[in-house]
Amino acid sequence: MGRKLEREFSAGGVLVRRIRGRPHCAAIRPQGKAAGVWALPKGNLDPGERPEETALREVWEETGVRGKLVEKLGDVKYTYTRRNGLRVFKIVSFYLLTASSGRLGEIEERMRVEVAEARWLPLDEAPRLLAYGGERQMAQLALDRFGA
Ligand code: ATP
C-alpha cells in the first residue's frame, strides 16, 4: 500500500548581529519544546511569497528583529509524522541575514503560541547548541562566513 507523503515548504534565517564585537545568531525555543531546545526561526511560505521574503517575515515575527538579506545558505530536508499519523516531507530554505532593527523577544502576542523564548547564541557555539542537525549545518556556514 502506498502511503501518502505530504509536502511542506518553509523558509527561515540565520540572523546575525554583533554583540560587543562577537557575532551571535537569533534562536528560538518553539512552544512545547523542553528548555534548552534551540531552533532557527522559520515558517511556511504564504501564497505568492518568495522564500527569501518568508525568511525575513518569519524571522521578524518570531524574534522581533528585522533582518537584511545577505545570501542563501542552503536547504534543510527532513520528514516528520503529524499527530494524525500522516508523514510529512519538508524542505526549509535558510538565508543568511544581518540584524537591522528591533529587539529580540519583543514579538506580537499572537506569536507566543509558537515561540516560548528567544535568545542570541554566540555564532561559534550555535553549531553545537542548535537542536537539529540541518540547522547546525546552516549555523556552521554562517560561522564560516562571519568568523567568531
Ligand atoms: P514551521 O516553523 O515551518 O511553521 P512547524 O512548527 O509547523 O513548522 P516543524 O518545526 O517542521 O513544524 O516541526 C515539526 C516536527 O519536526 C517537530 O516534531 C520538530 O521537532 C521536527 N523538526 C523541526 N525541525 C527539524 C529539523 N531541522 N530536523 C528534524 N526534525 C525537525
Q: How far is the CA of 57 from the centre of ligand 1 (A)?
A: 18
Q: How far is the CA of 75 from the centre of ligand 1 (A)?
A: 14
Cell numbers given for 65? 528583529
Residue 2 pLDDT? 55
How far is Cα 23 from Cα 34, in angstroms, rounded to an integer? 26
With CA atoms as reference, report the closest residue to 61 among 111, 16, 17, 18: 111
What DSSP element (H or E) covers 63? helix 51-63
Residue 10, ligand 1, Cβ within 6 A: yes
Residues 6 or more apart from 60 whose CB is under 8 A from it?
Answer: 66, 67, 102
pTM: 0.96
Residue 126, ligand 1, Cβ within 6 A: no
CATH topology of domain 6-146: Nucleoside Triphosphate Pyrophosphohydrolase (3.90.79)
Mean pLDDT, 10 residues at a time, over the chain (148 residues)?
Answer: 82 98 98 97 97 98 98 98 95 98 96 97 98 98 92
Nearest CA to ligand 1 atom 11: 90
